[in-house]
Amino acid sequence: MTADAEPGAATAETYTASVVGGTGFTGGELLRLLAGHPGFEVVQATSRSADNMTVGRSHPNLRGLDLRFSDPDDLESVDVLFAATPHGVSMGRIDEFFEAADTVVDLSADFRLPEADAYDEWYDGHESPEYLERAEYALPELNRENLRGADLIAGGGCNATATILGLKPLVDAGALGPEAGEVVVDVKVGSSEGGAGGGAASSHPERSGVVRPYAPTGHRHEAEIEAYLGLSVSFTVHAVDMVRGASATCHVFPDEPVSKGDLWGAYRDAYADEPFMRIVSGGGGVYRYPEPKSVAGTNHGEVGFELDPGNRRVVVFSAIDNMTKGSAGQAVHAANVALGLPETAGLEFDGLHPVGAP
């Protein structure tokens, strides 16, 4: 079975999988997706804090899953190991992970930048820089061909993912490049981005009702955007009163004038054949532009745009669920591509409407 198989087609093979760091929000999302995936059998989920406790105790939506957490030092042999651990853990355990699995999918920042120098600049260095060249960025819309057969997959950051999906069609069409005008990106994100241990700033009383700048400048996801799109962007992130979601508004000033037709052509060329991408740009109804609420719980991404000819500006909108398309769903999608499974396997959920705050 190849990655070009019909969406939803039965898989020809089942792979065993483990989730390291299974009690966090992303670990729970991975377990949810993998439990419903026809090509994976989850045989282990690890947690130091919840060792021998049921998965349903941490993730009540998974109470029907007959699985208990085990000690992360006792890794079982599996085909694919998904690591949903904090930054810095996987780079220190990567040899151990490969002793336990043929394929490693890491959802942290540990392998998502291609150069060790970038980790010196944006993080605190890297313990295993020899693996960086081996790692493949997990976003299939950007890196599909290189993901086929990859054995080390590095999940993208959710804010970077939303931004890259919005801007990539303009880069592909030649409307944006290193010599283009300034690109200003403003991202709004939900509280789940802070993880299960997000601290006081993510608690409900402190988060409720806010639009809080928490990374006005120097956000680490800028490094991914520059590495994979070749663009330097002015990037700001706000924490807002929602649980799931990332919404990017990008202000683009191309060197050459573009028309509305040029924009539609660029976005259709980029995403017409992508199973999880939707173009939502100023149509009728209430949801006229991309919104996190429309994609909550799904692996879909929405992109849209408006032209401001008087200011020679293009405003690009993109929205994803940070937990799914921005993390666990992207990881499963990438694993599907790497293993030759149908790309949409385990990711067919289209969301709900109406629904409350995502």
Distance CA 339, CA 12 (A): 11
Annotated binding site for NADP(+): 23-26, 322
pLDDT mean over 348-354 = 95
Distance CA 358, CA 216 (A): 24
Q: Identify the band that residue 11 occupies on the pLDDT scale cut at 50, 70 and 90.
A: low
The pLDDT value given to residue 95: 98
| Torsion-angle region of 285 (φ positive above 0: left; ψ -120 to 50: alpha; else: beta) | left
Report angle CA 53, 54, 55 to the nearest 5 degrees. Answer: 120
Annotated binding site: 23-26, 322
Based on the residue annotation, tell me whether 250 is a catalytic residue of this protein.
Answer: no
Q: Identify the band that residue 246 occupies on the pLDDT scale cut at 50, 70 and 90.
A: very high
Which residues have CB under 8 Å from 42's CB, separation 6+? Answer: 17, 18, 19, 31, 34, 35, 65, 67
Beta bridge partners of 16: 41
Distance CA 70, CA 42 (A): 13
Give the helix/strand (H/E) hosting 33: helix 25-35
pTM of the full structure? 0.94
| Higher pLDDT among residues 257 and 187, named by residue | 187
The token pair at 105 is 């999918």
Where does 155-233 show beta strands of DSSP type E? 183-189, 211-215
The pLDDT value given to residue 7: 43
State yes or no: pLDDT of 8 exceeds 70.
Answer: no
The token pair at 145 is 């061909």
Cβ atoms of 239 and 191 within 8 Å: the answer is yes
Give CA separation, 265 vs 82, 216, 247, 268, in Å: 37, 33, 23, 5
- Write the pLDDT tens digit of every residue in 170-181: 999 998 876 677
Cβ atoms of 276 and 299 within 8 Å: the answer is yes
The pLDDT value given to residue 31: 98
- Domains with residue ranges and CATH for the chain: 15-156+327-339 (3.40.50.720), 158-320 (3.30.360.10)
The pLDDT value given to residue 12: 61
The token pair at 175 is 């409307």
Where b means 16+ CB within 10 Å and e means fewer, 287-316 reads: eebbbbbbbbbbbbbbbbbebeeeeeebeb
Cβ atoms of 319 and 292 within 8 Å: the answer is yes
Calculate the average pLDDT of the chain: 93
Distance CA 221, CA 113 (A): 10
Q: DSSP secondary-structure letter at 76? A: P
Cβ atoms of 97 and 72 within 8 Å: the answer is no
- Gyration radius of the chain over CA positions: 20
pLDDT mean over 101-129 = 97
The pLDDT value given to residue 255: 80
Distance CA 221, CA 112 (A): 10
For the chain, the maximum distance between any two Cα atoms, rounded to a whole number of angstroms, is 62
- Write the pLDDT tens digit of every residue in 19-30: 999 999 999 999
SS3 state of residue 212: strand
Which residues have CB under 8 Å from 161's CB, separation 6+? Answer: 139, 246, 301, 320, 325, 326, 330
Give the helix/strand (H/E) hosting 299: none
- Write the pLDDT tens digit of every residue in 188-222: 999 888 887 767 777 778 888 999 998 899 899 99
Q: DSSP secondary-structure letter at 54? A: B
- Write the pLDDT tens digit of every residue in 47-91: 999 999 999 999 999 999 999 999 999 999 999 999 999 999 999
* Catalytic-labelled residue, pool 62, 83, 158, 239: 158
pLDDT mean over 254-263 = 91
